[in-house]
Amino acid sequence: TEMSRAADRLKYLVLLMYLNCMSFSHIKAHILTGRSAQSVSCHHPSAFRYTLDTDVLSPEQRLFYESNGYLLIKNLVSDEDIDKFREEFEKICRREVEVPGLLVMRDIAIAKSEFVPDQKAVSKLQDFQDDPELFRFCTLPQIVKYVECFTGPNIMAMHTMLINKPPDTGKKTSRHPMHQDLHYFPFRPSDRIVCAWTAMERVDRSNGCLVVLPGTHRGTLKQHDYPAWEGGVNKMYHGVQDYSPEHPRTHLVMEKGDTVFFHPLLIHGSGMNRTQGFRKAISCHYASADCYYIDVKGTTQENIEEEVKGIALRKHGLGDDITLKDTWAFRGRLVKGERTSL
């Protein structure tokens, strides 16, 4: 009805002003003098910081991402596509296809057991950008359409993963500690980076869904270290030590094909997999090609640089003089637009 539309408009206007850091007395004055949302966004072009002006997101979706740091879109990827990604994953596990640059990771609880060429031994694939079938995920038009709202038109796929969270062996190693993805990235600005994470089956608290701390994307990058877990921690699974345990948590229950887009400063992790199945998700971190590399020397990211360099040394035979930046430059692939900087 006309009334509820007017109420929606008012709600939107108040939130917009609030996000623009206006005080409530200021907002009241604006509304009483009858100034529209249009005039607010014109006079304050910084009203939206985390999203760009496209006609893809509804005002509600934009405001949701601006204040929470994530946005869940239901049913974005078809069953057919997900089944194809799953088949490709299984072929890789059976070693029927060899993918250059691919990192195959094992859960520490199963890594030491006897090797089996089967998905049971694999907890995660990383850097699948040179596998044409899996990389198709990163280029799906319905995903890229949303990505563009965060990155702008020049889009690079910087980091790709297929996560196969194994049934927990009782050591709780299937958990992923709370962290910010920006810890791993030597490029900025963070607001032009976004992750798309698609559930490859129903993902809920029983098999270890994503847990997010809404609004934490408005904070800064925190110190990350290996958590002191009794049962051990997987390689590279650094966690934030000092987040408030009282911060509200949201468990993202998702159906097959649902996709969440989230900011690289959003504190998130995932729970234990208490089922007998391997919980699968596929993800890509995108960045604007206009982003620039930073030197992480002397920052909290130095510890991850050392670790990644070690892997690059062993896996790709690279020398000791490489930096975190070098390990990224050859992994990134252009998805749309022009490769301007990254």
Q: Per CB under 6 A, does 160 bind ligand AKG?
A: no
Q: Per CB under 6 A, does 99 bind ligand AKG?
A: no
* Closest of 162, 172, 164 to residue 109, by C-alpha: 172
Q: Least distance (Å) from ligand AKG to the CB of residue 114?
A: 25
Q: Least distance (Å) from ligand AKG to the CB of residue 165?
A: 5
Q: Least distance (Å) from ligand AKG to the CB of residue 163?
A: 4
Pairing between strand 193-199 and 210-212? Answer: unpaired
Q: Least distance (Å) from ligand AKG to the CB of residue 197?
A: 7
Q: Per CB under 6 A, does 281 bind ligand AKG?
A: yes
Name the residue nearer to ligand AKG (CB basis): 151 or 270: 270
Give the contact letters, 251-270, x = binds to ligand AKG (CB under 6 A), - = no: -----------------x-x
Name the residue nearer to ligand AKG (CB basis): 131 or 290: 131
Only segment of 9-17, 64-72, 90-98, 159-167 that touches ligand AKG (CB under 6 A)? 159-167
Q: Per CB under 6 A, does 176 bind ligand AKG?
A: yes
* Two tokens, residue 47: 């009203």
By rule CB under 6 A, what count of residues binds ligand AKG?
10
Q: How many CA atoms lie within 13 A of 263 on its CB side?
A: 28
Give the contact letters, 178-207, x = binds to ligand AKG (CB under 6 A), - = no: ---x--------------------------
Q: Per CB under 6 A, does 163 bind ligand AKG?
A: yes
Q: Least distance (Å) from ligand AKG to the CB of residue 3?
A: 43
Name the residue nearer to ligand AKG (CB basis): 239 or 332: 239
Task: Return the HEC string of the chain.
Answer: CHHHHHHHHHHHHHHHHHHCCCCHHHHHHHHHCCCCHHHHHHHCCCCCCCCCCCCCCCHHHHHHHHHHCEEEECCCCCHHHHHHHHHHHHHHHCCCCCCCCCEEECCHHHHCCCCCCCHHHCCEEECCCCCHHHHHHHHCHHHHHHHHHHHCCCEEEEEEEEEEECCCCCCCCCCEEEECHHHHCCEECHHHEEEEEEECCCECCCCCCEEECCCHHHCCCCCEECCCCCCCCCCCCCEECCCCCCCCCEEECECCCCEEEECCCCCEEECCCCCCCCEEEEEEEEEECCCEECCCCCCCCHHHHHHHHHHHHHHHCCCCCCCHHHHHHCCCEEEECCCCCC
Name the residue nearer to ligand AKG (CB basis): 131 or 181: 181
Q: Least distance (Å) from ligand AKG to the CB of residue 176?
A: 4
Only segment of 112-120, 161-169, 186-194, 294-302 that touches ligand AKG (CB under 6 A)? 161-169
Only segment of 31-39, 51-59, 142-150, 158-166 that touches ligand AKG (CB under 6 A)? 158-166
Q: Per CB under 6 A, does 212 bind ligand AKG?
A: no
Q: Which residue is nearest to ligand AKG (CB)?
A: 270
Neighbour-count burial of 298, counting CB atoms closer than 10 A to its CB (0-12 exposed, 13-18 middle, 19+ buried): exposed
Q: Per CB under 6 A, does 165 bind ligand AKG?
A: yes
Residues near ligand AKG (CB under 6 A): 161, 163, 165, 176, 181, 208, 210, 268, 270, 281
